[in-house]
Amino acid sequence: MRIVGWIVVCALLLAAGIAAHGSAAKAGNVFNGLSLEPRSTLLAIIDSEGRLTSQANSALFEKAGFQVDVLASCGGADEAACVKGRLVAYRARAGVQAVVLMASARHSNTVYALYGEPDVDAFLAAAILFRANEPPAAALPKSDRKGPPLLLIGKGSDPAEAVRATQSYSDRMRSQGIPTWFYLLPEPGFQLFPPGGRDEIVEVIYRFTGAGEADGIYREYLDQDARWQEPPFENRSFHELPQFISSHPVDKRFTDIMGKWFQEQPYHLKRWRFDTYKGFDLLAYRDSNPQTKGARYLLLRNLSGNFDRFDLEVYAPYKPKIVIGFDDTDNMFSVGPLFYLTQRQYSWAMARDLGLLVRPLGAFLHFEKPVPPEFEPAFKPSSNLGLESISFSNEDPFQRLDGVVSADLKALLTRSAGGCVACHAVGDIGGAMYHISAAGPSQQPGFALALQAYREEVLEAFLFDQARVAALFGDAPNFVPEKEARELFEYVKTLR
């Protein structure tokens, strides 16, 4: 995954420098607070299909340091009661400080029933489900407690129906206050962060339980993958204005957008049905305010500092909407955040250890009717939106470039396909893109400065020695035509 931009590290590297990042450490899970010791933790396995209880898997879990026992005699209508009795007995054993139930999808109703027990925390420290069926219709009994953390594990190679069922189970448990993490094991060839020397399932269980040691960046990636399923950003401000929200069928343009977003991990698309989306009507929202009614220009400044403007005399016929949810998903920040590392903050400075960074999807601009290709906007500046990202104006901010630069340079700077001002300001026009810490979330160094803020030799190198500068970031060159590059270089001089 790479996000392409300009001088600052808008070209972001996932793999470069990973091996040198971080060091092995023992620490509890930042997601759910668990910090179990494998030697005193018993994995109680129930699996009528025999996969989890195979000799190879049992040996794998034992090699990881856990005690292992198989619930072979529980089944039938009283399976949940039988399992509870066994778990209570395990918890009373000498040398057992915690019991973790591990089950296959066929036993997902039993796991659900155990979470409804008022004393579940007394006999269960956590549960792990390898895939899940659709959850029961009945809600869990209301309780002030959160209940033991739950990990669901699926495979990216699983059929879409199985992945969607596990996602549905995950959503149901999380909505009822259970700390829930659904981890989808990558398909072969799509591993963004290598798991190190251990089996990936063991690494995931270690991070979930807060046990053992893990490689720094891989551990951080797992922690943040779990954490961002209940993200620090949300869409609530949009949903508090229901008069502007309507439901629309998902079309090919919508699924194409999601396909591009998940191009590095396409198996994640199996999580959702993509039947309908919720659209926030920008024109109705604009016209509901007497101060902005009929305003010609839509201005977007997203939560990563990107900027774009849209002439609504051009775009209004295509019915612009902000996608604030789809299917049963209401918080677009929980949908596929992209995690990455960067090895440079600026072309002249290596990055200090910024940790794992994130690019959230968030709410994004979409059009109810197809937009002609020449008007198709760049996606990055028009995604990762909150309600505060939206404003309207009767003044075109790009008009300030008229008569100051040539028409060709203005087009380069402001083009809807992702001009320079999407990331950088030119004078006082444009964005100021920045990195977001996955753990924060907070702004991190590596800001897209206004072009006039760069030293002359830095801008000159970018414009006229682009191949070398791009190589510093490990990205493909982003060449600027010679004529426009020379004009831009001279124009920026006048802004300093």
Q: What is the pLDDT of residues 66-100, one digit of tens each?
A: 999 999 889 888 999 999 999 999 999 999 999 99
Q: What is the pLDDT of residue 443?
A: 80
Best-predicted range by mean pLDDT (13-22, 127-136, 211-220): 127-136
Average pLDDT along the chain = 88
pLDDT at 23 over 60: no
Q: Look at 126-130, 207-211, 437-441 and tell me which has the smallest mean pLDDT.
A: 437-441
Q: What is the pLDDT of residue 467?
A: 87
- Domains for the chain: give ranges and CATH numbers: 25-214 (3.40.50.1820), 236-495 (no CATH)
What residues pair up with 344 in beta bridges, in sequence order? 350
Q: Which residues contact 89 (CB under 8 A, 6 or more apart)?
A: none
Alpha-carbon gap, residue 121 to 99, rounded angstroms:
10
Alpha-carbon gap, residue 463 to 449, rounded angstroms:
15
Residue 484 near residue 454 (C-beta atoms within 8 A): no
Q: What is the pLDDT of residue 415?
A: 84
Stated as kind and residue range, the H or E segment containing 349 is strand 349-350
Q: What is the pLDDT of residue 30?
A: 65
Q: What is the pLDDT of residue 12?
A: 31
Alpha-carbon gap, residue 33 to 271, rounded angstroms:
26
Q: What is the pLDDT of residue 191?
A: 72
The helix/strand/coil state of 70 is strand
CA-to-CA separations, 364 to 4, 287, 334, 377, in angstroms, rounded:
18, 20, 13, 11
Identify the residue whose tokens are 């551990």. Answer: 219
- Geometric angle at alpha carbon 365, from 359 and 369, rounded to 5°: 145
Alpha-carbon gap, residue 221 to 229, rounded angstroms:
13
pTM score, two decimals? 0.88
Q: What is the pLDDT of residue 447?
A: 80
Q: What is the pLDDT of residue 7?
A: 33
Tens digit of pLDDT for each residue in 135-176? 999 999 887 778 899 999 999 999 999 999 999 999 999 999
pLDDT at 214 over 80: no
Alpha-carbon gap, residue 432 to 303, rounded angstroms:
10
> For the chain, how far is it from start to end, CA to CA, in angstroms?
35
